[in-house]
Structure 1
Amino acid sequence: MNCKTSFPDDPYNRFWQPFMDNNPIVESHSNITSSDFWNTPPLKVFKSAITTSRGKTLQLQWPTEPLPSSKYYISLYFQENRTPSPFSWRVFSVSVNGKNFFTNLNVTTDGVMVYGTQWPLSGLTEIVMTPGADIPVGPVINAGEIFQMLPLGGRTLTRDVMGMEDLARGFNNPPSDWSGDPCLPQNNSWTGVTCTTGKLARVVTLNLTNFGLAGSLSPSIANLTGLTHLWLGGNKLSGPIPEMSTLNELQTLHLEDNGFEGSFPQSLDQVTSLQEIYVQNNNLNGTIPGTLQKRLGINLKVTPGNHLSTSA
């Protein structure tokens, strides 16, 4: 592959970048369907390939940078680049750092993938493709992907996972990485999400300010009972503000500059930890609980843009 590609060409948001060395590059003369592969690689990775001359071994240093000592998932992609015919195939063996990865791999115009899990690597990595005896063409490779295997270190509370999944479904355009576990692996949580660490992770902050989000705020926000800060200001969210009385840890709530409508949520008066509420520039109506407005130290911004009054 000779150009960068990622989402939306890759539905899993993997990042594919060009690899260049001194070996010849050939263009593919046949199409391939991504349905032939269980992990759906982007079609662009099969547009070009690296090869070598007949009878020669193809050696690549890839990845180009040294790797930390760990175990890795490695997946390599191959396709015969010539026009489909009874003679369009190649056979070669693949090794990684001198260890056999796959023997007598038969590569045709249909394409093929081989992979290894828990593969130990450290430092620079050399991939060697050795042609079979009497094969009239050299080896060819289109692309590869590699992932370091990291321990999850626990799990995320089920109600938090379900709540975040419902939030993602409520947004018309959630961040592209909003899939899978919202908190794990550690240091790889969803965009805008901060979680606790330990054996049972909890979602504690959600900040998607000015992300251009549209859609609605799911009632499942009430599942996130460990949430301390919810910042969704400056988006295009609409519909009612859902019930939040279960969010007993919530300290700040920023929903300003959206299109929320309906009544001001009376349940916010029950969230005694709440000290900052920004809901200005929405289309809310009804009353603000008097006890909420009189709460000591609270920072409450409801105007301009709403039609609210204060209850006794």
Structure 2
Amino acid sequence: MGADTVPFPRQMRSLRSFPQGIRNCYNVSIVNGTKYLIRASFLYENYDGLNILPAFDIYIGNSLWERVNFTDIHIEPSFELIHITSSNEVHMCLINIGNGVPIISSLEFRPLLNITYQTASRSLSLQSRFDFGSSDDKEYRYPIDVYDRIWSTINYYGQEPVKASATTGAVEENNYKVPSIVMKTASAIKDIRLNTKNSSQYYVFMHFSEVVELQPNQSRVFNITHNENFFYGPLIPSYLSTQTVSNKDPFDASNLHLFSFISTNNATLPPIINAFEIYYAKDIIELETNRGDVNAITKIKSTYGIKRDWQGDPCVPMEYPWSGLNCSNATAPRIIYLNLSASGLTGEISSYISNLTMLQTLDLSHNELTGELPDFLTNFPNLRVLILTRNKLTGSVPEVLLQRAEAKSLTLRLFPLLFILRAEHLKRSIQERLLKSKNQQVHYSEILVITDNLKTSIGEGGFGKVYLGVLSDKIQVAVKLLSASSRQGTKEFKAEAEILTIVHHRNLVSLIGYCDEAENKALIYEFMANGNLRKHLSDSSTTVLNWKQRLQIALDAAQGLEYLHNCCKPPILHRDMKTSNILLNEKMQAKISDFGLSRIFANENDTHLATRPAGTFGYVDPTIHLCGNFSKKSDVYSFGIVLFELITGKPVIIKSNTESEIHIVDWAKPSILEGNSQSIVDQRLQGCIEICSATKFMELALCCTLSTSAQRPQISDVVKQLIECQEMAQNRTTSHRPPINPNFSYTSIGSDSILSPR
């Protein structure tokens, strides 16, 4: 902004913008224990050509001072604070809140007398400062005001400028040093009405001076009330001498502050006022990070040439510490978390880190650090996490760190090539524990060891990603890690862990172990080499399941579900049966997985479970939406959908060439009822399927998905029917159309034709 073209004070003719980082700070050296008037001013003037008014926060120490909101590109927001400092520095930060780039035009510190503007140890934020009675619209500030307060003329409704005596000279100052030119003018006034923030307490400072040389028969005496309560009086202004009136205790929060000036009975002249200031109380907390930590982190910054938003106090404001840092909540905050990963660090691990004695987490991963691990890494009493992966470090790991990792008091993540022998040792230790007794709890650091730092993802679901894990002797496991953005969450994690620790069946996926730390949760399962059933049924699958394999998979899954319904006491509902939750091991044996939505009946005799709807679209029993209750027949319905997918190879929701969608039951039912069941058999099975068993299989699928749950078979009946299907398939034939199964009949109910058991 050019000085020749912009009619603003010199302080406002330039600005500094902060497009980088969330926080940008100033450290201002001051005199400890001194009262200062602090003024921050901002002028946008469309300096960037975007014509978009920004908004941002300004902090003093750990306290929000104000939010800067511009109303016009030419209007200058300005904030004043009267504050006694408690150290030799003041930290002022501009915080980017996502509404544009923070800017500042000027930041001023003006020392005041400590005996002025007194409050009970609270700071004062200016709302208004007025000069009464002036005949022009000038603003007065430094050098006219030695403290550089800005006095603005006010033309208040009902005021009447007082004509000063011709001989009026300079006005005698008091400690507030209000300029003589301000005190030489006054207005006769009845009241001052101010609308204020109703959440704040207020202080006022009224300045009076008689500007008329009164005659013996003249008198000016008045009282002052605040919101109709007595405030001060009687007041007799002294001729050409400043007198200041203020409230010792703050006025309570209110939308309105009404000050009335009332003449006494013997007064001959009306009340007057020369100048008026009103402030709202502000509690400014000036925290400072522990000096030793400040020195250490400053030297670390210098050693590595770190270029981040590292200005001001490292931990303050505590809501916005330096990026990569977290601090303790203390009077003198301590640095407890330091993350310098991927920061381009070179050379050895700096010895200055050893001075951050309260560290709990240190992450130096993904840099170019060289040399050996320094012994001082063993001296942090509170260290819980140490991450050094992806560097060029050499040498051995200090034994103390290894022992702490073994004892689970330290999460230790090290560079895999350097510490491969150590990893193999840990794998053997983990394997011995897991295989000795199932459902063992493991530490997150051990999860990282067996998954090679989460190297290989083998799947992903609502819970999070699934990683391949390897124990010693090349025993593989699957590790399902809870994601922070998981559609499921901690509740489902705990439900699955609790259920799998009490159920054991050859057709249920086995839980080997689990990790349940604050932010790290994982489940360790037996590894299912052939993935989920849905993958094998999809058109993109390179392998085709034959009919006998499909029958065996259906029977395996049915027996697993039968165990949950009839062998567990009390019974368990799976509530999310689907082909993607049926896993296949290297022998193509099927096992039910994913128990995050499963629920246990309250007691053995219960038949229904009242709970919120759950499951996957297309598989959910439609009766749930009517009654809100889950039952064993709800799982049977979902299993019927699985049977349809097995025989047809189709997904639960089928898309036509016109992109319209149809549910698999609605697609298959007409063909079955018309006796044309062969038309819906998976094309990849044509000519390779035993027709009688296939027809019985489809009838069973249709029975499981009947719209009335009472008409559906129990899962134990489903198991029996599937065994019969297997027996039929032993003598394979595709040459004839089988008769209708004598155990079933077609019934027409209204317009809905169904297949129901006799």
Q: TM-score, normalised by structure 2?
A: 0.22
Q: Taking CA–CA contacts closer than 8 Å with sequence separation of 6 or more, which of the two structures ends up with the larger relative contact order?
A: 1
Higher strand share: 1
Higher helix share: 2
Larger Rg: 2
